[in-house]
C-alpha cells in the first residue's frame, strides 16, 4: 500500500515520541530538591490540559500555554514561569524517547516516500529531539504550530504544510497521529487520508472515523509495506 502515497505526515508527541510530562516534572522538581507527588501532577494537568485544548482552538498562544501552566509552581519555587518552562523543555528533550518501532518505521519509509511532521508542540523541544535521534536526516518537512501561528486541527497549518510540499495531490498524502481531535479531524478537513494510532483500544465516534486504524507503529509499518515491512 506504500505506493498509494507520495507523502506521509506524522504527529510527534505520542505518535513518534513517548511523551510523559510526569517524568519531566519529576526531573524539574529534583532541580529544586523538591519531592514530586501525584497531587503535584494533577494540579499541573488541571492547568495544562485546558490550556492545550484552548491552544488547539486558537484561543491562546503558544507562549501563553508555556507560561501560564507554570505560574503556580513559579510562585512556589521563587523563580519565573519562563525559567521553569525552559527547564521543563530541557528535561523533556533529554527524556523523550522514540516509541517502540519508530526508528525502524521511519528508516524504512524514508526509502520509499517523503516524510513530514506536523506538530502542535513547541519549537525548541521538537528541534532538539529530532536531532538527538537522527530523525532530521529522514524528514523533509517539520511544521511546528508555534512557528505557523495556528495549531491542528486548523486548516491553515495543513495548507502551510502543503505549500511547503509543493502542493502534491491530496489523494497521495497520509496523516498519522494519536489524537482524533487534532490529527484525524485536521487531516480529514484538509482532504487527506488519516491513520489513527490508537494506543489504548478506544472507539472512534461515528462522525470521526479515520481512513485506517492501528494500535502500534510496527502494525503501521506492516499495513503500509506488507511483505516488505522488515526487509
pLDDT (0 to 100) of residue 95: 84
Taking the C-alpha atoms of residue 31 and residue 26, their distance in angstroms, rounded to an integer, is: 9
Taking the C-alpha atoms of residue 205 and residue 209, their distance in angstroms, rounded to an integer, is: 7
pTM comes to: 0.91
Catalytic-labelled residue, pool 3, 6, 11, 26: 11
Q: Mind listing the pLDDT tens digit for each residue in 25-54?
A: 999 999 999 999 999 999 999 999 999 999
21-95 has CATH 3.60.20.10 classification: no
Active site residue 11: yes
Exposed/middle/buried for residue 16 (C-beta within 10 Å: 0-12, 13-18, 19+): buried
Would you say residue 227 has pLDDT above 90?
no
Give the strand order in the sheet containing 141-144. 141-144, 114-119, 7-10, 173-177, 193-197, 212-214
Q: Mind listing the pLDDT tens digit for each residue in 46-83?
A: 999 999 999 989 999 999 999 999 999 999 999 999 99
pLDDT (0 to 100) of residue 144: 95
For residue 66, CA distances in Å to 53, 60, 107, 187 come to 13, 10, 32, 26
Could you state, in order of their start, the residue ranges of all structural domains in the chain?
A: 2-18+97-228, 21-95
Q: Give the architecture (CATH level 2) of 2-18+97-228.
A: 3-Layer(aba) Sandwich (3.40)
Would you say residue 109 has pLDDT above 70?
yes
pLDDT (0 to 100) of residue 229: 53
For residue 173, CA distances in Å to 10, 46, 60, 108, 109 come to 11, 36, 29, 17, 13
pLDDT (0 to 100) of residue 67: 97
Q: Which residues make beta-bridge pairs with 115?
A: 8
Per the listing, cell 487531516 goes with: 187
Taking the C-alpha atoms of residue 217 and residue 36, their distance in angstroms, rounded to an integer, is: 32
Across residues 207-223, what is the average pLDDT? Answer: 96
The better pLDDT of the pair 164, 226 is held by: 164
Would you say residue 6 has pLDDT above 90?
yes
Q: Mind listing the pLDDT tens digit for each residue in 140-189?
A: 999 999 999 999 999 999 999 999 999 999 999 999 999 999 999 999 99
Read off the pLDDT band of 220 (50, 70, 90): very high
pLDDT (0 to 100) of residue 108: 95
CA 210 to chain CA mean position, Å = 17
Across residues 108-129, what is the average pLDDT? Answer: 93
Amino acid at each position: 500500500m506504500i505506493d498509494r502515497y507520495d507523502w506521509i505526515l506524522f504527529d510527534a508527541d505520542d505518535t513518534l515520541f513517548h511523551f510523559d510530562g510526569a517524568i519531566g516534572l519529576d526531573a524539574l522538581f529534583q532541580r529544586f530538591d523538591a519531592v514530586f507527588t501525584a497531587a503535584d501532577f494533577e494540579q499541573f494537568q488541571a492547568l495544562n490540559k485546558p490550556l492545550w485544548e484552548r491552544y488547539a482552538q486558537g484561543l491562546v498562544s503558544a507562549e501563553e500555554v508555556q507560561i501560564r501552566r507554570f505560574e503556580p509552581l513559579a510562585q512556589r519555587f521563587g523563580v519565573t514561569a519562563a525559567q521553569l518552562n525552559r527547564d521543563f523543555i530541557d528535561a523533556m528533550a533529554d527524556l523523550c524517547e522514540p516509541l517502540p518501532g519508530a526508528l525502524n518505521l521511519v528508516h524504512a519509509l524514508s526509502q520509499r516516500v517523503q516524510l513530514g511532521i506536523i506538530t502542535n508542540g513547541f519549537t525548541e523541544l521538537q528541534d532538539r529531539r529530532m536531532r538527538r535521534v537522527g530523525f532530521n536526516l529522514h524528514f523533509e518537512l517539520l511544521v511546528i504550530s508555534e512557528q505557523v501561528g495556528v495549531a491542528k486541527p486548523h486548516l491553515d497549518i495543513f495548507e502551510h504544510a502543503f505549500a511547503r510540499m509543493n502542493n502534491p495531490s491530496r489523494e497521495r498524502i497520509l496523516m498519522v497521529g494519536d489524537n482524533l481531535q487534532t490529527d484525524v479531524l485536521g487531516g480529514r478537513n484538509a482532504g487527506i487520508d488519516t491513520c489513527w494510532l490508537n494506543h489504548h483500544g478506544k472507539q472512534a465516534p461515528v462522525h470521526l472515523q479515520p481512513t485506517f486504524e492501528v494500535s502500534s507503529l510496527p502494525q503501521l509499518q506492516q499495513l503500509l509495506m506488507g511483505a516488505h515491512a522488515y526487509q
